[in-house]
Amino acid sequence: MLPRPVLGALLACLMLLLGGCTASGGGTSATSTVAQAQLPAEAQDTLKLIDAGGPFPYAKDGTVFGNFEGLLPSRRRGYYHEYTVPTPGESDRGARRIITGQGGEFYYTDDHYASFRAVLR
């Protein structure tokens, strides 16, 4: 079995090659990718917290992400979870998030779910 980060990177590359098509028919706007090292420092810190299992600074961290926008591949409810990426200067959670999938994939959004980039780890 491949390590989780390798599996996630392979899945992201496969999604890119397939143009966002999935067997379940759901599309994705995560046709672009971003290397973990290219993410903002706060996103990299959030990924470290996810890897460590917490503790998370926000009560909603780790909750189910519903993918109501339909931008990520269509999966059953509970497959995706969301984590806050703090935004300096914001007094609330801000717009940045990391979304994780149970298959080891990671997505980053900095515009509150209007678009996603698959994170290559």
More confident residue, 18 or 47: 47
Contact 107, 81 (CB under 8 A): no
What integer best gives the mean pLDDT of the chain?
84
* 105 in catalytic set: no
Nearest to 46 by CA among 111, 2, 109, 115: 109
- Who contacts 51 (Cβ-Cβ below 8 Å, separation ≥6)? none
| Domain count within the chain | 1
Give the mean pLDDT of 78-95: 94
Give the mean pLDDT of 20-25: 38
* 90 in catalytic set: no
Residue range(s) defining the domain that contains residue 93 = 4-120
CATH number where 77 lies: 3.10.450.30
Active-site option among 42, 81, 82, 90: 82
Q: How confident is the model at residue 91 (pLDDT cuts 50, 70, 90)?
A: confident
Active-site option among 69, 90, 105, 112: 112
Q: How many residues does the chain have?
A: 121
